[in-house]
Chain A
Amino acid sequence: MTCRDFEARADAYAEGRLSPREAAAFEAHLDRCAACGAALERAAGTPPGLTALARSIEPAEDLWPAIRGRLASLGQRPGRVAVPRWGLAAAALLLIAFSSGVTAVLLRPAPRTASATLDVSALEAQYAAVSEDLTGALEQARSRLDPATMATIERNLRIIDTALNETRQALANDPGNPALGQMVVAAWRQKVDLLRRATALGAES
Chain B
Amino acid sequence: MSELVRRAQAGDSDAFAALYRTHVGKVHALCLRLAGDAHDAADLTQDTFVRAWESLASFRGESALGSWLHRLAVNAFLGTRRASGRRERRIFAVEDPAVLERGEETAAPGLSMDLEQAIAGLPKGARTVFVLHDIEGYQHEEIARMTGIASGTSKAQLFRARRLLREALAR
In the complex, whether A8 has a CB less than 8 A from a CB of chain B is no
In the complex, whether B61 has a CB less than 8 A from a CB of chain A is no
Q: Is the Cβ of A58 less than 8 Å from the Cβ of B25?
A: yes
Tell me the minimal C-beta distance from B74 to chain A in angstroms: 10
Contacting A at CB under 8 A, from B80-110, are 95, 97, 109-110
In the complex, whether A16 has a CB less than 8 A from a CB of chain B is yes
In the complex, whether B164 has a CB less than 8 A from a CB of chain A is yes
In the complex, whether A142 has a CB less than 8 A from a CB of chain B is no
CB closest residue in chain B, given A46: B134
Q: Is the Cβ of B50 less than 8 Å from the Cβ of A49?
A: no
The size class of the interface chain B forms with chain A is 35 or more
In the complex, whether A160 has a CB less than 8 A from a CB of chain B is no
| Assembled-state Cα–Cα distance A29/B135 (Å) | 25
Contacting A at CB under 8 A, from B153-171, are 153, 155-157, 159-160, 162-166, 169
Q: Which residues on B sit within 8 Å (CB–CB) of A61?
A: 42
A-B residue pairs, 7 tightest by C-beta: A56-B25, A30-B152, A31-B152, A78-B56, A77-B11, A44-B162, A14-B163
Q: Is the Cβ of A81 less than 8 Å from the Cβ of B55?
A: yes
Q: Which residues on A sit within 8 Å (CB–CB) of B121?
A: none
In the complex, whether B132 has a CB less than 8 A from a CB of chain A is no
Q: Is the Cβ of B159 less than 8 Å from the Cβ of A40?
A: yes
In the complex, whether B1 has a CB less than 8 A from a CB of chain A is no
A61-99 near B? 1/0 per residue, CB < 8 Å: 101101110110010011111000000000000000000
Q: Is the Cβ of A64 less than 8 Å from the Cβ of B20?
A: yes
Residues of B within 8 A of A (CB): 8-11, 13, 16-17, 20-21, 24-26, 28-29, 32, 38, 41-42, 45-46, 49-51, 53-58, 72, 75, 79, 95, 97, 109-110, 113-116, 118, 123, 134-135, 145, 150-153, 155-157, 159-160, 162-166, 169
Q: Which residues on B sit within 8 Å (CB–CB) of A137?
A: 145
Partner of A60 from B42, B49, B57, B160 at Cβ < 8 Å: B42
In the complex, whether A43 has a CB less than 8 A from a CB of chain B is yes
Partner of B163 from A32, A44, A144 at Cβ < 8 Å: A44
Q: Is the Cβ of A71 less than 8 Å from the Cβ of B25?
A: no
Residues of A within 8 A of B (CB): 10, 13-16, 23, 26-32, 37, 40-41, 43-50, 52-61, 63-64, 66-68, 70-71, 74, 77-81, 137, 144-146, 200, 203-205
Tell me the minimal C-beta distance from A189 to chain B in angstroms: 19
Q: Is the Cβ of A59 less than 8 Å from the Cβ of B54?
A: no
Tell me the minimal C-beta distance from B112 to chain A in angstroms: 9
Tell me the minimal C-beta distance from A51 to chain B in angstroms: 10
Q: Which residues on B sit within 8 Å (CB–CB) of A205?
A: 55, 58
Q: Which residues on A sit within 8 Å (CB–CB) of B10?
A: 77
Tell me the minimal C-beta distance from B128 to chain A in angstroms: 14
Q: Is the Cβ of B155 less than 8 Å from the Cβ of A57?
A: no
| Assembled-state Cα–Cα distance A114/B124 (Å) | 45
Q: Is the Cβ of A204 less than 8 Å from the Cβ of B25?
A: no
Tell me the minimal C-beta distance from A85 to chain B in angstroms: 16
Q: Which residues on B sit within 8 Å (CB–CB) of A54?
A: 29, 113
| Assembled-state Cα–Cα distance A78/B166 (Å) | 44
Quick one: given A46-B162, A53-B113, are A145 and B156 in contact (CB under 8 Å)? no
Q: Is the Cβ of B162 less than 8 Å from the Cβ of A78?
A: no
Q: Is the Cβ of A47 less than 8 Å from the Cβ of B26?
A: no
**Which of B8, B29, B79 has most A Cβ within 10 Å?**
B29
Q: Apart from A80-B55, A205-B55, what are 12 other A-B pairs with CB-CB below 8 Å? A: A16-B95, A23-B156, A40-B155, A43-B163, A47-B165, A47-B169, A48-B169, A49-B113, A57-B110, A63-B24, A63-B42, A78-B16
